[in-house]
Amino acid sequence: MNTPFPKVIFLLCVGLFGLTSRPGIASAQDQASVQAHLQRELQALEAEGPELARLRSIARLYESLGEFSNASSFAEQVCSHEGSDAEDIANLARIYVKDAKGETALDLLKNAGQRFPDSATLLYAQGMVYLAMDKAPAATYSLQRAAKLDPDDPRINYKLAELFFRRGNLERAETLLEPIVESEAAFDDAVLLYGQVLFASERERQGLRVIERYLKKHSESDKARGALVALLLKQAMTEAEAGRISRAVGLLEDADEVVPAEPKILMGLALLENEQGNATASIAYCKEIIDTSPRDLEAYAFLGRLQRVEGLAEEAEETFKAGLALAEELGETQHVANFNRLLNPFE
């Protein structure tokens, strides 16, 4: 059976580095806990007065609940307090942006510059506001000014690297990211972006070593695991295109260990094993996909074809019928037509 294995592995790499990332949604229990904490803080505020730390806490709690109007009201009180600092102003600017008040945030930061001249914190905040307003050149200028004041701040350098990466300046992005990734201050987003830079630069092996070292220290990092898998997939594609199928299989097996039962990886393994003439292993991978992701229509189609080639006609027909029923249930008309063709004995 002829399968376009390099193309398929390439498609596995589309949307690369979000493979293991799943957007989190705060549970009702978490929300209730925040609300309870907020009520305690409000009661203490009424009883004891506007102490700075409490005002900061209340603003932060309202922000975490998405109540940006209330959050900005208390953050404004924080900023008017004599003990407030540049970080407090930056926090208020961030809340303004979340409340769709970008221009208000810029005015705040401009005026605060008189109180805190040459503040890298405020320039970083200004750059973030410009980014939120989709003004990349202005954001770059603000962040570069911030970097001159605080050249070792990983937040500033990461954001600058992100902007350079978007503009296709991989060399400058890498120069900014490498010290962060190899330091104790490394964080997920920096590692993720570094992986993307190395991927775009076709230096996957170097990226693998860096990310593997990071994962040894931060085994809980979903983003780093996603970056590692993406680089393994890209390297597998390179090996497959060069005809080194067994090496490509090994790389995908490594990826499967990092992200177990990921359907895209298992399908890549099924395709590559089939290329090597190992239909039994290919069939096993397809069945594993269906066991863990029972709505994967591509797995039903490929499994049925494999079974048919291996002389398992009755099993193939059952697989195609199951795929057809699922496609009809999901309203996938193209797949319905495909399964009907596969069930046609004269096809």
Domains (range + CATH), the chain: 279-347 (1.25.40.10)
Residue 39 CA to residue 44 CA, distance in Å, equals 9
Q: Which residues contact 275 (CB under 8 A, 6 or more apart)?
A: 3, 5, 240, 245
Q: Say whether pLDDT at 5 is over 60.
A: no
Do residues 184 and 213 touch, judged by C-beta distance below 8 A? no
Residue 27 is predicted with a pLDDT of 54
What three-state secondary structure class fits 36? helix
Residue 17 CA to residue 165 CA, distance in Å, equals 15
Give buried/exposed letters for 48-87 (b at 16+ CB in 10 A, else e): eeeeeebbbbbbbbbbeeeebebbbebbbbbbeeeebebe
**Above pLDDT 70, what percent of the chain?**
90
Pairwise pLDDT comparison (297 vs 204), residue with the higher score: 297
Residue 6 CA to residue 9 CA, distance in Å, equals 5
- Give the mean model confidence (pLDDT) for residues 259-264: 79
Average pLDDT, the chain: 86
Condensed to tens digits (0 to 9), the pLDDT of residues 158-213 reads 999 999 999 999 999 999 999 998 888 888 888 878 877 887 787 867 777 777 77
Residue 83 CA to residue 123 CA, distance in Å, equals 20
Residue 48 is predicted with a pLDDT of 92
Pairwise pLDDT comparison (1 vs 339), residue with the higher score: 339
Give buried/exposed letters for 115-129 (b at 16+ CB in 10 A, else e): ebeebbbbbbbbbbb
Q: Say whether pLDDT at 146 is over 90.
A: yes
